[in-house]
Structure 1
Amino acid sequence: MYRKILDLLQAGQSVAVATVTASRGSTPREIGAKMLVVGEGQIAGSVGGGCGEAQVLWDAVRSLAEGRPMMSVVDLTGEMSEESPTNCGGIMEIFIDPMLPADPVRPGPSSIRVAGILARAMDDREPVVLATLVTTPDPIRFPLGTRAVIWSTRQEGVERLPGASVILERAAQAIAGNRSRRIGVPIEGAAGEAAVFLEVLAAPDELVIVGAGHIAVPLARMAKVLNFEVTVIDDRSAFANRARFPEADRIIVADIAKSVADLRIAPNTYLVLVTRGHTFDQAALLQVIHKPAAYVGMIGSQRRVRAVFQFLRRMGVGEEDIQHVYAPIGLSLGAETPAEIAASILAELVAVRHKSRTAHRPRHRASTANEREIGEPRPDPGG
């Protein structure tokens, strides 16, 4: 979203960014949900749909016209009824930040600088926190809307916020937990405390599908529904192409081992090896087994898995690294079709994502009802 904001600012357009910073009761959107308002009311995103969004839109247009940030409190308690089809009934506090191409005098980094920093951080898959002062009992010393940007190892603008040391500590916790939050910060000599919203921006989890065969097609499609950024790798353009993978964010047609070696592997990268042969699995595993991926899984029967692991040992790979490979891949769902096999793989990815005990990574998993289907799919030239 900050890439879109940056594009608008660079084109000379102002944009109001409405963010849910707190909620109580049954509300339609989660903390951190956003809506952009451009011009006299063009919108992107949502902070609640029919549930109070008209009020937020009105406030956002006013915020842009006046060039000042404001808090919009949406009280939906009067909308609760058994007949209501919407999930309305609580209270949302939505901070509206007018981001202008040329900001008036405002402490902290400018709107266009903030948008540029955050857009680059997303491109680089580097987690970052945008800290914004959303309530203040002392607007003279600490103006509403003062911003700072905080990375894991550096910051810009925090000294302009109250309680800088507290903000830095809580921002580090927010990055570690990948969860946005609003915190209270006391201001010496002021009645009451300020509130700072710590918005964590982290790149989406990335699923790298190595092998573009018959299982990869439904796997890529379903992964997008689960908010994965999808990369497909194969050395055959007849299989790895936009016609077969319209949903993929990136398609790489090149030598498999080299392509995997060139990947930027992050702690939120999930690698699924569904190649057409164990030699390709071996070559790919050698490139990633020492890297900090969230998940590395390999398709194959028990026999194929044992052969690949024996090869890795001969190549000097330690048992601890081998134990981190999920193989045979997927949860035991009795899968038969490529789509069902893809579903079993994604079920395991979701379990790992949420650290569920249903996700295992033993070196030799016991035989399961769907081992034949997952380990030895029906013959297909796509692998």
Structure 2
Amino acid sequence: MSWISALADLQQRGEPCVLVTIIEERGSTPRNAGSKMVVTAERIFETIGGGHLEFKAMEIARQMLEERTQDTRLERFSLGASLGQCCGGATVLLFEPMGQPQAHIAVFGAGHVGRALMPILASLPCKVRWIDSRENEFPEQIPAGVEKVVNEEVIDEIAGMPRGSYFIVMTHNHQLDLELTAEILKRNDFAYFGLIGSKTKRVKFEHRLRERGFAADTVQRMRCPMGISEVKGKLPVEIAISIAGEVVATYNASFGNEVKKGETVARLLPSSRREQA
């Protein structure tokens, strides 16, 4: 498969990859400027000439995929003993991440706000899992790019999310919200965690979490109420817009990198007065 066909296929399926291009070639090495290679976590398509240089390029590309970087990268390689070449010269490679989601998001709850939120999140460069134990709460049509997950034990879905994920909790049950919150805070490796509710709900949850031994700085990372306060209104779609805005503000502020442990989006955004929907 050609690199351009592979790239189109991967983008259609939402699989991240890195496009590697020879930008400049100096010396007597038999590589052609403009040659391209597409690298995924498990496969490569096309070639930039093989050998140690291609192997090193593949390593760098896969490191970029693992780190979920959004930034392009230029690397200059001096050809010689370090790359197992018998002749001198240099090659400049351009690494371009493609199809990497800005955020992996788990949304718990298929109620009114969840149904309003899904089309918005689906239109963003995010990978979304929509989780509820109640099959009949989901609409017939699920937005493209959103994975519907029906699980009686919704808490089990937290462990499978990658480091630096975004968690949005808005279930029909306060006790379930509390258990989900405890499990998410126990991980404490998320980029964003929002819990729908009022300031009163937050105070109650903070008290119960302290009783369970959670440190104050860990609990502080929880956004409750969540959503941007400048977006007013109580309609599900208005609340959904404010939540989505906070998600976008978070991944834009960190330029695609996960928020460091102990930091919170609260330092970036004004306090919300969003009440429980």
The answer to whether the superposition gives a TM-score over 0.5 is: yes
Aligned equivalents of 2:200 and 2:28: distance in 1?
A: 69
- Higher Rg: 1
Shift of 1:130: 5.9
Q: Could you tell me which of 277, 289, 310 is aligned with 2:185?
A: 289
Is the contact made by 2:3 and 2:36 (CA closer than 8 Å) also made in structure 1? no
2:12 maps to 1:15: no
Q: For residue 53 of structure 2, what is the aligned residue in structure 1? A: 161
2:112 maps to 1:214: yes
Structure that is richer in helix per residue: 2
2:126 maps to 1:228: yes
Q: What pairs with 1:185-200 in structure 2 (closer than 5 Å)?
A: 185-187=77-79, 193-200=90-97
Q: Unpaired runs of 5+ in structure 2?
A: 42-48, 81-86, 255-263
Q: Aligned pair count?
A: 248
**Cα distance change on mapping 1:160 and 1:131 into 2, 3 Å:** farther
Q: Could you tell me which of 272, 292, 298 is aligned with 2:195?
A: 298
Q: For residue 280 of structure 1, what is the aligned residue in structure 2? A: 176
Aligned equivalents of 1:148 and 1:217: distance in 2?
A: 36
Q: For residue 266 of structure 2, what is the aligned residue in structure 1? A: 361
Q: Which amino acid aligns with 2:173?
A: G
What's the secondary structure of 2:135's corresponding residue?
A: coil
**Cα distance change on mapping 1:217 and 1:130 into 2, 3 Å:** same
Aligned equivalents of 1:163 and 1:247: distance in 2?
A: 35
Is the contact made by 1:282 and 1:308 (CA closer than 8 Å) also made in structure 2? yes
Q: For residue 375 of structure 1, what is the aligned residue in structure 2? A: 275
Is the contact made by 2:131 and 2:154 (CA closer than 8 Å) also made in structure 1? no
Is the contact made by 1:298 and 1:327 (CA closer than 8 Å) also made in structure 2? yes
Shift of 1:260: 3.0
Aligned equivalents of 2:23 and 2:170: distance in 1?
A: 48
Aligned equivalents of 2:5 and 2:149: distance in 1?
A: 37
Percent of residue pairs identical: 20
TM-score (norm 1): 0.54
2:151 maps to 1:254: yes
Shift of 1:304: 0.9
Is the contact made by 1:299 and 1:329 (CA closer than 8 Å) also made in structure 2? yes
Aligned equivalents of 2:39 and 2:99: distance in 1?
A: 13
Higher relative contact order (CA 8 A, sep 6+): 2
Aligned equivalents of 1:296 and 1:330: distance in 2?
A: 11
Aligned equivalents of 2:245 and 2:61: distance in 1?
A: 32
Aligned equivalents of 1:162 and 1:220: distance in 2?
A: 41
Q: For residue 335 of structure 1, what is the aligned residue in structure 2? A: 233
Is the contact made by 2:25 and 2:92 (CA closer than 8 Å) also made in structure 1? yes
What's the secondary structure of 1:345's corresponding residue?
A: helix
Shift of 1:168: 6.9
**Cα distance change on mapping 1:290 and 1:270 into 2, 3 Å:** same
Aligned equivalents of 1:173 and 1:326: distance in 2?
A: 29
Shift of 1:180: 2.2
What's the secondary structure of 1:375's corresponding residue?
A: coil
Shift of 1:131: 4.4
**Cα distance change on mapping 1:178 and 1:287 into 2, 3 Å:** same
Deviates more, 1:296-305 or 1:331-340: 331-340
**Cα distance change on mapping 1:167 and 1:262 into 2, 3 Å:** closer
Shift of 1:326: 1.0
Is the contact made by 1:131 and 1:149 (CA closer than 8 Å) also made in structure 2? yes
Is the contact made by 1:208 and 1:230 (CA closer than 8 Å) also made in structure 2? yes
Q: What pairs with 1:67-216 in structure 2 (closer than 5 Å)?
A: 122=15, 131-138=20-27, 140=29, 142=31, 145=35, 160-161=52-53, 175=67, 177-187=69-79, 193-200=90-97, 203-204=100-101, 205-216=103-114
Q: Please list the CA deviations of residues 234-264 of structure 1 after superposition, one character each: whole Å capped at 9, or x if unmatched.
A: 11111135x1534352111223543334432
Q: Please list the CA deviations of residues 210-243 of structure 1 after superposition, one character each: whole Å capped at 9, or x if unmatched.
A: 11100011211001111222211111111135x1
Aligned equivalents of 2:110 and 2:54: distance in 1?
A: 52
**Cα distance change on mapping 1:336 and 1:158 into 2, 3 Å:** farther
Q: For residue 66 of structure 1, what is the aligned residue in structure 2? A: none
